[in-house]
A and B are shown apart, each in its own frame.
Chain A
Amino acid sequence: MICSTVNELIAPYIDQELSEETLIKMNEHFEKCNSCRTELKAHMGAHRLLAEKLEHTPVNDDVRDKIIAKMREQETASPNWLFKKIHIPLRPVTGFAIAASLIFGILFIGDIVEFTNPDNTIRPIVINSGMSPVMPDGLLATVTGEVVCVGCYIRENYNAEHDCDIKGHIFGFQSSDGNLWSFTHNEQAENLIKIDEVTGKKVKIEGKLYYSAHFINIDHYSIVEN
């Protein structure tokens, strides 16, 4: 094992996150290498110092009681109307209204676009078909824009019901022309949505655009300095 590898693995060594095989190799290295041993001692010191001396402030009882009380209030006060059966007599006019809304829905329903989640599941989202395809699919192109949470975006802009705090973010890409895109599953896309550093930064993506479905197959991406 070389020093640079050992140095990278010191944190997981201390936190007992290494396999036994790697652990043995690390121990062998520490026996021989003075510099890495010093590095280890210092790293262990920092870890111990933080674990022992970082101040722990418990929540005071008043706050705890207040939260519990509010939670109970919230629950007892919450309306049950969602679970009540709604009886609407089906008169001819109501039937006409339902049929009209169905036709309207079919005509105006948008492209079904899938956005990847951090946990690699896929959720279909229907977005406005105003973004009709005008380009051939599979075109190699470079687009700039921002990685955005589509859930947050439609919640903020269209009051859509979406709770990212619980379900996690649904990452997509908003190109500088305002269009929203999803990523096909590949390593590049996976890396891009997992790094916090891209938040709020302009990103340049090179890849194939599937305009009809608003998917990008990323070949390469880079963060553009503002």
Chain B
Amino acid sequence: MWDSIQEKQKAFEEEAVTHMDALYNSALKLTYNEDDAKDLIQESYFKAFRFFEQFEPGTSCKAWLFKILKNTFINKYRKKVKQPEQVDFNTVESFVDLIKDKNYDEDEALDDGIVNSYLSDEINEALTKLSYEFKMVLILSDVEGFSYKEIADIMDCPIGTIRSRLSRARKMMFKNLLKYAKKEGYYQEEKD
């Protein structure tokens, strides 16, 4: 495949290293810890490099790297990272129910400056409340833009499972961020 180690390194750097930002960003959201995130991508990249011959040219290298990252995370870090309490999704049946919920219907006075400076923290905080399975599909879809088929392949799950996890994960995030969503114009109620 490659005539020398240097050629392999060059191909790997062109094909795989370019995705390091995306992998690090996701690793950080999975581990909640900079050092663990660095170790996780380092280990994932070493493995990817060692087995780079097995990557099929023409397929998505980013998806291949994410699969390695996910497997490495499950094997090594998942036990270490404190899992959030399991969310009872029966209580979050629909967006409509959430919006009707009195707790979230309050027109709380939020200062513009506060909204901008805290929104990012609030989103990250809301993300930590999701269990790994839901968080991962959310990152892969909404942040990294993978197709359902690619996500199903990365997660080793049927597409139907990905679809329902994604739907539930978004509802959960929306529940925690509704006041910001309204304030920032991400959701507007229809006038009767």
Q: Please tell me if the beta carbons of A46 and B173 are within 8 angstroms of each other in the complex.
A: yes
A7 sits at the interface (CB 8 A):
yes
B163 sits at the interface (CB 8 A):
yes
- Contact A11 to B25, CB < 8 A, known contacts A34-B190, A41-B188: no
B81 sits at the interface (CB 8 A):
no
- Contact A118 to B71, CB < 8 A, known contacts A42-B95, A54-B142: no
Complexed CA–CA distance, A58 and B155 (Å):
23
Encoded as 1 (CB less than 8 Å from any A CB) or 0, chain B from 1 to 14 comes to 00001001100110
Q: Please tell me if the beta carbons of A67 and B41 are within 8 angstroms of each other in the complex.
A: yes
B20 sits at the interface (CB 8 A):
yes
The residues in A between 27 and 69 inclusive whose CB is less than 8 angstroms from any CB of B are: 34-35, 37-39, 41-43, 45-51, 53-59, 63-64, 66-68
Q: Please tell me if the beta carbons of B20 and A64 are within 8 angstroms of each other in the complex.
A: yes
Encoded as 1 (CB less than 8 Å from any A CB) or 0, chain B from 146 to 182 comes to 0110000001111001011011001101100100110
**Inside 8 A of A45's CB, which chain B residues have their CB?**
174, 181, 186-187
Q: What number of B residues sit within 8 Å (CB to CB) of A?
A: 66
The interface-forming segment of A159-167, A172-180, A201-209, A210-218 is A159-167
Contact of B96 among A35, A49, A169 (CB under 8 A): A35
A interface bracket (residues with beta carbon within 8 Å of B):
35 or more
The residues in A between 163 and 195 inclusive whose CB is less than 8 angstroms from any CB of B are: 163-166, 168-169, 194-195
Which of B20, B41, B148, B156 gathers the greatest number of chain A CB atoms within 10 Å?
B156
**Inside 8 A of B50's CB, which chain A residues have their CB?**
166
Minimum C-beta distance from A7 to chain B (A): 7
**Further pairs besides A34-B190, A43-B170: 12, Cβ < 8 Å:** A39-B95, A42-B95, A49-B181, A49-B184, A50-B123, A54-B142, A54-B143, A59-B20, A63-B41, A71-B49, A166-B71, A194-B156
